[in-house]
Homo-oligomer: A and B are copies of this chain.
């Protein structure tokens, strides 16, 4: 029996998604709570990793179990969602929250079946003590029309070698960005919403760092196209702070 979870988390006090020998990981907390709840040795597979301090509004992950305890949450072969979700949330710490759970086919995989992912980057202009740990921060104002113009060069299928960490493990750097929305909300906060068929390591944070350079008028919108063409990380902007990144949605 395979179950797909949708979950939120506040990344502030985690070393990231992936379980490691030391430190508190989201994967580790989920496996601990599920294993306890189902009296089984549960292994969980996320749609992808998130780094330390990165948040999620709609991360997804699947697990398999044959434990007889899962029967407590089944009725005529269907999952009694609220009862399972409530039981799991009651076992999880305050900074993780399950929002959905569904039975999936045995051949479903939370990572390999992803069709599209949506991220948000929250950027605070100036200091705001109320959103420490919840936003990236920058001290100067940014030109919104220039950033919007620049973002258009990134939409579509491109080789994003310039926009991924040198630590990126995958060889194929071609990805398709579906859209980039950039808008302001109250209190001088700017949201970058980026949707694509897949993202390389640090890709969203480097894209935002590069658009910020456009917003600061350090480079021009057309330079984003030039940076893409170089296919070399050193030409793009800096990797923005992890606190501002939110995995918003995973679409299958």
Interface residues of A (CB under 8 A from B): 8-10, 55, 57, 89, 94-97, 127-130, 132, 134
A8 touches B57 (CB 8 A): no
Q: How far is the CA of A128 from the CA of B95 in the complex (A)?
A: 8
Residues in B with CB closer than 8 Å to A132 are 10, 94-95
User: A128 contacts B94, CB within 8 Å?
Assistant: no
Taken together as a complex, chains A and B put the C-alpha atoms of A130 and B246 apart, in Å, by 10
| Chain A binding surface, main DSSP class | mixed
B130, A96: Cβ atoms closer than 8 Å: no
Can you give 18 A-B contacts (C-beta < 8 A)? A8-B128, A8-B129, A8-B130, A9-B129, A10-B129, A10-B130, A55-B130, A57-B130, A89-B127, A94-B127, A94-B129, A94-B132, A95-B129, A95-B132, A96-B129, A97-B127, A97-B129, A130-B134
CA distance A8 to B132 in the complex (A): 12
Contacts of A129 in B (CB 8 A): 8-10, 94-97
A128–B246 alpha-carbon span in the complex (Å):
14
> Which residue on B lies nearest to A96, using beta carbons?
B129
Q: Which chain B residue lies CB-closest to A246? A: B130
State in angstroms the CA–CA spacing of A9 and B55 once bound together.
22
List the B side residues contacting A97 at CB < 8 Å: 127-129
Residue ID in chain B nearest A127 by CB atoms: B97
- Docked CA distance A57–B130 (Å): 8
> In the complex, how many angstroms separate the beta carbon of A36 from the nearest chain B beta carbon?
19
Most buried by B among A57, A95, A128, A129: A129
Q: Which residues of B have CB within 8 Å of A10?
A: 129-130, 132
Q: Which residues of B contact A96 (CB under 8 A)?
A: 129
Distance between A109 CB and nearest chain B CB, rounded to angstroms: 25
In the complex, which residue of chain B has the Cβ closest to the Cβ of A94? B132
Bound form: Cα–Cα A95–B134 in Å: 13
In the bound complex, CA of A130 to CA of B132 (Å)? 12
